[in-house]
């Protein structure tokens, strides 16, 4: 049985005043989530033998409970969070989830800490740690890269789709972004199967930048004729929780948001 949201107890935190800044995943319209940008790190790296043993017991319990429920999921790791008795669970080929210490409840979505002037996502630093390792494994030849003008001050990874209006809007400001010393590394993330051929054609083109510009303009590109990483990159996005484009991350794996103006992007990177 597939590991689906219908199998999981979902926790949703809603905040007013959120603006739409990304194109949704056409394959997962029923799985949309509001995303809140956060800046405070989560805590709870297991540091004692007791905690490590508790983590191992939780992994075993979760694995058994998944098996009993007919859920096909492999637990890779668990880490304690700042929330008492709540763990961050890494799954193979799937987005991480939360689990209670007894392994009886799984929670998908954001857990938000209140009490400060800003809302803080409990899992932010834990997910960023995972993202950073995954981004470091990407080969530059598999990406669509726009070099910074002059000395590079920052590198961002952007999941993009040529069919997404917000991706178009971000791309229109590429010159301004790179002029601020920001290198942009595009990762292919077609929002639905119908958009896969266009992105594969871009990635198979001799000049990806020209091909991407053409695809955004609505030009029908020749069918892909090479082995390409588009599907693998799409799966990467799913694994780390991408549910719309553009999705912008720092090289350290921190999620910055959807569409941002060059000024907003520069400000967040320098914060």
Cβ count within 10 A of residue 152: 12
User: Is residue 164 among the annotated active site residues?
Assistant: yes
H-run or E-run covering 245: strand 244-245
Compute how many other C-beta atoms are within 10 angstroms of the C-beta atom of residue 271: 7
Count the residues in the chain. 271
Q: pLDDT, tens digit, for every residue of 126-169?
A: 999 999 999 999 999 999 999 999 999 999 999 999 999 999 99
What is the pLDDT at residue 32?
Answer: 38
Angstrom distance (rounded) from CA 170 to CA 259:
6
Alpha carbons within 13 A on the beta-carbon side of 188: 29
- The catalytic position among 164, 185, 204, 268 is 164
- Residue pair 250/127 in contact (Cβ under 8 Å)? The answer is no
| Catalytic-role residue among 23, 110, 185, 191 | 191
What are the b/e assignments for 105-138, b being 16+ CB within 10 Å? ebbbbbbbbeeeeebbbbbbbbbbbbbbeebeeb
- Residue 150 C-beta-side C-alpha neighbours within 13 Å: 10
pLDDT tens across 201-220, in order?
Answer: 999 999 999 999 999 999 99
pLDDT value for 28: 54
Per-residue pLDDT, 87: 95
Q: What is the rounded distance in angstroms from the CA atom of residue 158 to the CA atom of residue 126?
A: 19
Q: For residue 102, give the DSSP letter.
A: T
Averaged over successive runs of 10 residues, the pLDDT of the chain (271 residues) comes to: 43 41 66 35 54 90 95 92 94 90 93 91 91 96 97 97 97 98 98 96 97 96 94 94 95 96 97 83
216-225, Cβ contacts within 8 angstroms, sequence gap of 24 or more: 216/162, 216/167, 216/168, 216/171, 223/197, 224/197, 224/200
Domains and CATH numbers, the chain: 5-13+36-133 (3.10.450.70), 137-270 (3.40.30.10)
Burial of 142 (0-12, 13-18, 19+ CB in 10 A): middle
Place of tokens 């896969």: 196
Distance CA 164, CA 183 (A): 21
Is residue 204 flagged as an active site residue?
Answer: no
- Please tell me which residue in 110, 161, 185, 268 is annotated as part of the active site: 161
Q: Are 91 and 73 in contact (CB under 8 A)?
A: yes
Annotated catalytic residue 161: yes
How high is the pLDDT of residue 104? 96
Half-sphere exposure of 84 (CA within 13 A, CB side): 0
DSSP H/E element including 213: helix 208-216
Q: How far apart are CA 244 and CA 260, in angstroms?
A: 14
């Amino acid at each position: 049985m597939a590991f689906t949201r219908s199998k999981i107890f979902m926790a949703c935190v809603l905040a007013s005043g959120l603006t739409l800044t990304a194109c949704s995943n056409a394959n997962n319209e029923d799985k949309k989530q509001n995303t809140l940008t956060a800046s405070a790190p989560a805590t709870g790296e297991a540091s004692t033998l007791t905690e490590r043993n508790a983590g191992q017991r939780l992994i075993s319990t979760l694995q058994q409970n998944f098996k009993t429920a007919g859920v096909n999921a492999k637990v890779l790791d668990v880490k304690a969070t700042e929330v008492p008795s709540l763990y961050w669970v890494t799954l193979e080929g799937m987005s991480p989830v939360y689990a209670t210490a007894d392994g009886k409840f799984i929670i998908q979505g954001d857990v938000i800490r209140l009490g400060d002037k800003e809302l803080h996502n409990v899992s932010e630093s834990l997910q960023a740690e995972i993202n950073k390792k995954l981004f470091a494994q990407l080969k530059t030849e598999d990406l669509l890269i726009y070099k910074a003008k002059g000395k590079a001050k920052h590198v961002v990874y952007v999941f993009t789709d040529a069919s997404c209006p917000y991706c178009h809007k971000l791309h229109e400001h590429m010159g301004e972004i790179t002029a601020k010393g920001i290198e942009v590394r595009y990762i292919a993330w077609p929002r639905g199967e119908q958009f896969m051929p266009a992105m594969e054609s871009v990635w198979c083109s001799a000049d990806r930048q020209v091909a991407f510009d053409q695809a955004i303009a609505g030009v029908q590109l020749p069918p892909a004729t090479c082995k390409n990483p588009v599907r693998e990159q799409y799966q990467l996005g799913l694994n780390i929780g991408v549910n719309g484009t553009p999705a912008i991350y720092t090289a350290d794996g921190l999620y910055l948001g959807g569409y941002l103006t060059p000024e907003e992007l520069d400000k967040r990177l320098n914060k």
